[in-house]
Amino acid sequence: MTTNVQTRLTGPLATTRDLSGHRAVVTGGAGGIGTVTTRALAERGATVYIGARHTERAEVVRHSVLAAHRLPRTRIQVVALDLTDADSIRRFADEVGQAPIQTLVLNAAMSSVPFGRDANGTELQFATNHLGHFALTGGLLPALESSAGARVVTVSSALYPNGKLDLGRLDDPSGYSPGRAYIRSKLANAVFAVELDRRLVTAGGAVRSFGAHPGMARTPLHTTYPSAVTRVVTGMLARTIGRDPEPADIGILAAALSTEVTPDLFWGPIGSRRNPHAIGVPYARPAKDRALGAALWSASETLTGVSFLSGSEPAIR
Ligand SMILES: NC(=O)c1ccc[n+]([C@@H]2O[C@H](COP(=O)([O-])OP(=O)(O)OC[C@H]3O[C@@H](n4cnc5c(N)ncnc54)[C@H](OP(=O)(O)O)[C@@H]3O)[C@@H](O)[C@H]2O)c1
């Protein structure tokens, strides 16, 4: 099914696949939206590998989810992953990618922090939210390709169309705005989701790439803004219009699990705060921009030193 109009799913999780025997990865699975995604996959039978910076804290989350939902101990595993550290990404991919992976959820993010850089000098939110996930996807691609019909779900934000992907200024602190840098990284997530799917289709395999978002959700993500005013305003917004992580996760889960979703749409929640539906809407123009997709891919390969699907770039007309 391919469509250019929105698709609203009333019961996407009623049409999920049985995930017994599946292996799944959720980055940032030890907090916020990622924990809900981890639990939903584990409940359906998948073994879920949580990529986490703070493994001790992640183990506490793991134990509480396993106990609360009476899941077998092996159903959730914690593996160290720091998305700003190339060696950590490589170790994670080497360990977890030893066997086929059916679901990769690129969920972890940092939001709206003061200007910082990764080891190569790239602005930290872009490095964490996009580059780390780019390198991880490259590292796990053989494991994804070796399972039938694997999915990569990149978690972006509904605000991505407001971003500017100024690839020539990724190390430039002048005029830095924490919020704008976050939105730039979320635009990169959306452009990546679309470009990855193009390249996967061109390569002719069965892996597909989906983009999704949680709307506004009440998670720790909104507590890091350097400006006290922004923290207060966003906190109020999260309390009044934000959803709890579980209902907010519906579009991400639909993208990961439902048999009714298509990769050409961007998936998120719509409707009531407690019981939303999943909706897929067409991507906004910058996410579909083929030249921008190719430029992001090339910049990401240069900045990470990780190259994949490079012979599979679709022709730009
Ligand atoms: N909450 C919202 O309203 C909202 C809206 C739009 C989009 N989103 C997106 O939804 C996704 C989940 O966000 P959330 O709200 O659940 O945020 P969250 O509660 O802050 O969780 C983010 C997770 O990312 C992990 N993380 C941060 N930096 C990392 C790094 N360098 N390496 C590995 N893991 C790292 C964090 O781990 P630590 O504990 O180690 O920091 C944490 O587990 C993100 O992609 C976010 O952009 C959220």
Convert the pLDDT of each residue in 141-197 to its tens digit: 999 999 989 999 999 999 999 999 999 999 999 999 999 999 999 999 999 999 999
Look at residue 215 and tell me whether its pLDDT is greater than 60. Answer: yes
CB count in 10 Å sphere of residue 296: 21
Tell me the one-letter amino acid at 48.
Answer: V
CATH number of the domain residue 228 falls in:
3.40.50.720
Say yes or no: CB of residue 127 within 6 Å of ligand 1: no
Say yes or no: CB of residue 213 within 6 Å of ligand 1: yes
Give the integer Cα–Cα distance in Å for 225 and 180: 12
Q: Are the C-beta atoms of 261 and 255 separated by less than 8 Å?
A: yes
Confidence label for 11 from pLDDT (cuts 50, 70 and 90): confident
What's the mean pLDDT in 38-56?
96
Q: Is residue 82 part of a domain?
A: yes
Look at residue 136 and tell me whether its pLDDT is greater than 50. Answer: yes
Give the integer Cα–Cα distance in Å for 248 and 212: 11
Look at residue 18 and tell me whether its pLDDT is greater than 90. Answer: no
> Best substitution site from 36, 48, 50, 53 to test ligand 1's pocket, by max atoms within 8 Å of Cβ?
53
Q: Considering its fold, how many domains does the chain have in total?
A: 1
> Best substitution site from 26, 27, 33, 240 to test ligand 1's pocket, by max atoms within 8 Å of Cβ?
33
CA distances from 187 to 212, 247, 293 (A): 12, 23, 11
Give the integer Cα–Cα distance in Å for 159 and 21: 36
Q: Is residue 316 part of a domain?
A: no
Q: Is residue 34 part of a domain?
A: yes
User: What percent of the chain is predicted at pLDDT more than 90?
Assistant: 83
Say yes or no: CB of residue 181 within 6 Å of ligand 1: no
Say yes or no: CB of residue 33 within 6 Å of ligand 1: yes
Q: Is residue 86 part of a domain?
A: yes
What's the mean pLDDT in 211-220?
94
Say yes or no: CB of residue 304 within 6 Å of ligand 1: no
Across 215-225, b (16+ Cβ under 10 Å) vs e yields bbbbbebbeeb
Q: Is residue 24 part of a domain?
A: yes
Between 169 and 5, whose confidence is greater?
Answer: 169
Say yes or no: CB of residue 58 within 6 Å of ligand 1: no
Q: Is residue 67 part of a domain?
A: yes
What DSSP letter does each residue of the chain carry, written as one string? ---SS-EEESSGGGGBPP-TT-EEEEETTTSHHHHHHHHHHHHTT-EEEEEESSHHHHHHHHHHHHHHTT--GGGEEEEE--TT-HHHHHHHHHHHTTS--SEEEE-----SPSS-B-TTS-BHHHIIIIIHHHHHHHHHHHHHHTSTT-EEEEE--TTGGG----GGGTT--TT--HHHHHHHHHHHHHHHHHHHHHHHHHHT-S-EEEEE---SB-SGGGG--SSHHHHHHHHHHHHHT-B-HHHHTHHHHHHHHBSS--TTEEEEEES-SSSPEEEEEEPPHHHH-HHHHHHHHHHHHHHH----SGGGPPPP-
Look at residue 26 and tell me whether its pLDDT is greater than 80. Answer: yes
Q: Is residue 313 part of a domain?
A: no
| Closest atom of ligand 1 to CA, residue 106 | 45
Confidence label for 316 from pLDDT (cuts 50, 70 and 90): low
Q: Are the C-beta atoms of 24 and 103 separated by less than 8 Å?
A: yes
Which residue range forms the structural domain that includes residue 49? 7-303
CA–centroid distance, 248 to ligand 1, in Å, is 14
Give the integer Cα–Cα distance in Å for 127 and 110: 10
Supply the mean pLDDT for the chain.
Answer: 93
What's the mean pLDDT in 208-227?
90
Q: Are the C-beta atoms of 278 and 269 separated by less than 8 Å?
A: yes
CA–centroid distance, 144 to ligand 1, in Å, is 23
Structure tokens at 242: 């934000």
- In 3D space, the residue among 211, 194, 191, 212 whose CA is nearest the CA of residue 202 turns out to be 194
Q: Tell me which residue has its CA closest to atom 40 in ligand 1.
A: 53
Look at residue 317 and tell me whether its pLDDT is greater than 70. Answer: no
Q: Is residue 317 part of a domain?
A: no
Look at residue 2 and tell me whether its pLDDT is greater than 70. Answer: no
Whole-number pLDDT of residue 15: 66
| Closest atom of ligand 1 to CA, residue 30 | 43
Active-site amino acid positions:
176
Look at residue 115 and tell me whether its pLDDT is greater than 50. Answer: yes
Whole-number pLDDT of residue 315: 61
What's the mean pLDDT in 123-142?
98
Give the integer Cα–Cα distance in Å for 28 and 232: 25
For residue 191, what are the β-bridge partners?
A: none
